[in-house]
Amino acid sequence: MQRHIERAVFLFLSISAGLLALQVDAVAQSAGFTRQIAVHGNAAPQNLAQGSDAIQNPEFAPAFGPDAKAAAPSNAAKTRNPRVNRHMSTFAGDIGENEGDHEKSASNPRLLMSFQGLNHRDQRLANGGNQFSLEPPDQGLCAGNGRIVEVLNDVFRVYDTSGNPLTGVVDLNTFYGYPAMFDRTTGLEGPFITDPSCLFDAATQRFFLVVLTLDVDPPTGNFLGTNHLDLAVSNSPDPTGSWSVYSLPVQDDGTSGTPNHHCYTDVDSTGHGIGSGPCLGDYPHIGADAYGIYLTTNEYDFIGFTFHGAQVYGISKAALAAKSPNVTVVQFDTASSAPGHKPGFTIWPAQASQNQFDLQDGGTQFALSSTATDEAQCNSGVVCTGTHTSRKILLWTLTHTGSLGTSAPKLSLSNEAIPVARYAIPPPSNQKSGDFPLGQCINDTTFVTPFGPGCWQLFFDTEPAHDEVVSTLDSNDSRMQQVWYANGALWSALDTALTVKGKPQAGIEYFAVNPRSGELRLQGRIGVAGNNLAYPAIAMTDSGRGVMAFTVVGNDHFPSAGYAGMTKDSGAGAVHIAAEGVGTQDGFSGYKAFGDPPRPRWGDYGSALVDGNTTWIASEYIGQSCTLEQYLTGSIGSCGGTRTSLANWSTRISNVQP
């Protein structure tokens, strides 16, 4: 049953007038770096058995895991952590009191159905349990031809539009033709796959699924430095069938056909980069126009400490759909190309409803990015210090995309700065109090285990401090989130700090931009008193109505899957709950014993899309709860088969009629 929050919802609208001025920085590379990539292999979903509920050693990839019994063996080779889903910025203050009238919106969305998506138990036990425990569930969702694909972290599943699974839980290592993430028989590691994103393109009737893959040394798990975007393309409109896979190297050190961006391996005493090594193509996302598929990444030093700049890749979607053995890729490096000679950061390429493409200038693809983060204020890719607040966003325009289908593409990339109301890095999101059995297990000193008294003995060789508490959740860093193109407008949103009834909290700021005129058609903020909204994703229909998905969490709500209706004239309406959370987030990344200071992760992005006249949305939430006593009964940590010992995140997929 759909629930409607009756508490105050604060909305600020600023419709076009007064915010139309543009500051244009002529950037544009007349031609990007061009190369060809070949079909890397074939893929197909395989239904493999689930693994054991038991706590197994190791539970984390040695190069990523904390110094814990459930992590790397004591003799594991050491390597510096390349760390994916990076961010430099932290909360540095809130913005002014946010008040307004949420009844201005004419949106009245209807929740048609909602069903349980993938969860941590699915992720960890996939492929016979030859997986590591991972947080958070980076969320990808795509739908078309009566099929829904949910992909997150390193697993995916296909459903019909009634929510019935059409495949088992498919681990991405097996799907992409790699060895298991971790073979628990041989002890060998396979490549580390992360940051999935997908779309269904109605014009070609194909599904496109991209991930970042980091190569490792199988015996040690040490990262090799090589990393690539693996792009799978379904060979038919049916995602349960076969796919073709293309591999695009993104280490950008001059190897494997990449340009050399001279990423650093260290910094000197003055903070300047030294050495030269591979780059990391972090946080990839996908978009499409009439002619191309577009991938973007945030490029950091692989094992260094600096941000280089966002990368934009264009590929002919017709060539991909035709299974061409070789396809041309055009790459743009945005280092020092944005206004003020700053690098682009999290440039999110637009997705669109069927045939909602811009055909001017030989075909045009649009993207948006924000400028409040440290990365967006880097000086020569080394000194990155921002104010953590901004009054502008960036519009990116890629023209002549029709030339992607030729032997010599002639694309051009430019950007414009668009003034907006102020936004800022949000504070962490507090959680409603409740049972947190993993944290309580770490605090326990009496439960009898084979290793001695204390539940903590199940995870650690060295006794931790017994002072864990319910964690706050990461509310993101004001990077731009999903971008949707419909009826000549770009829609997007980002996480921002708000002050609601005198208290700082995480909220959402959203935008509608006319990319042809640079006009800011609509802008607004949305928040709920005493609670936080995080990780928004917007999708708009041809009729000018749509839905924004997000997580709701705070004093009154365990982490819940929320949404608000959108209209092209009045913006966001009241906040609704698609699925109420039933417990606290209780994952390893939120506890000091697994890494101090903890980085309590929450899904780094959500998803929303248009499928015909309806929308599908997916957000992270908590769908289970149990006490410490229940956690320690039966298979330890499984709470009756509802979670794992180390995490309890889950996702919710909902169909909403705008």
The 10s digit of each residue's pLDDT in 453-502 is: 999 999 999 999 999 999 999 999 999 999 999 999 999 999 999 999 88
Residue 9 has pLDDT above 70, yes or no: no
Confidence of residue 103 (pLDDT cuts 50, 70, 90): very low
DSSP states along 308-330: EEEEEEEEEHHHHHTT-SEEEEE
Q: Taking Cα atoms as reference points, which of 544, 497, 550 lies closest to residue 522?
A: 544
pLDDT tens digits, one per residue of 403-412 = 999 999 999 9
So what's the pLDDT on residue 8?
37
Place of tokens 């990539």: 37
Residue ranges making up the domain that contains 541: 3-70+81-435+466-657
Average pLDDT over residues 56-85: 53
Confidence of residue 600 (pLDDT cuts 50, 70, 90): confident
In what order do the strands lie in the sheet containing 147-152?
Answer: 139-144, 147-152, 155-160, 170-171
pTM: 0.92
Place of tokens 């000197």: 268
> Alpha helices of 275-398 — where are they, by DSSP H?
317-321
SS3 656: strand
Q: Side chain identity at 208, as an amino acid letter?
A: F
Residue at 396 is within a domain = yes
Query: Cβ neighbours of residue 300 under 8 Å, at least 6 residues apart?
Result: 86, 263, 279, 280, 282, 306, 307, 308
DSSP 8-state assignment for residue 360 = G
Confidence of residue 54 (pLDDT cuts 50, 70, 90): confident
Extended strands (E) in 154-269:
155-160, 170-171, 192-201, 206-216, 223-234, 243-249, 266-267
Backbone angles phi, psi at 111, to 5 degrees: -75, 110
Residue at 303 is within a domain = yes
Q: How many CA atoms lie within 13 A of 61 on its CB side?
A: 28
Report percent pLDDT > 90 for the chain: 76
Residue 79 has pLDDT above 80, yes or no: no
Residue 635 has pLDDT above 90, yes or no: yes
Tally of structural domains, the chain: 1
So what's the pLDDT on residue 240?
97
Confidence of residue 86 (pLDDT cuts 50, 70, 90): low
So what's the pLDDT on residue 525?
95
Residue 134 has pLDDT above 90, yes or no: yes
By mean pLDDT, which of 48-57, 72-81, 252-261, 272-281 is the weakest?
72-81
So what's the pLDDT on residue 230?
98
Please state, in angstroms and rounded to a whole number, the distance separating the CA atoms of residues 490 and 512.
5
Q: Side chain identity at 177, as an amino acid letter?
A: G
Residue 642 has pLDDT above 80, yes or no: yes
So what's the pLDDT on residue 64?
61
Residue at 452 is within a domain = no
**Between the CA of residue 389 and those of 174, 242, 498, what are the distances in Å?**
42, 46, 12
pLDDT tens digits, one per residue of 182-209 = 999 999 999 999 999 999 999 999 999 9
Confidence of residue 46 (pLDDT cuts 50, 70, 90): confident
Q: Angle at the Cα of 401 (from 280 to 416), degrees rounded to 5? A: 70
Please state, in angstroms and rounded to a whole number, the distance separating the CA atoms of residues 581 and 123.
20
Annotate 387-433 with three-state secondary structure. Answer: CCEEEEEEEEEEECHHHHHCCCCCCEEEEEEEEEEEEECCCCECCCC
Residue at 457 is within a domain = no
Average pLDDT over residues 443-457: 96
Average pLDDT over residues 541-557: 96
Contact status, residue 212 vs residue 85, Cβ threshold 8 Å: no
Token pair in block for residue 206: 């194909």
pLDDT tens digits, one per residue of 332-376 = 999 877 666 788 999 999 999 888 899 999 999 999 999 999 999
Residue at 425 is within a domain = yes
Secondary-structure percent of the chain, ordered helix, strand, coil, rounded to 5: 10, 45, 50
Please state, in angstroms and rounded to a whole number, the distance separating the CA atoms of residues 267 and 391.
31
**Between the CA of residue 636 and those of 50, 109, 123, 249, 459, what are the distances in Å?**
17, 42, 18, 41, 12
Residue 274 has pLDDT above 60, yes or no: yes
Token pair in block for residue 157: 């599943």
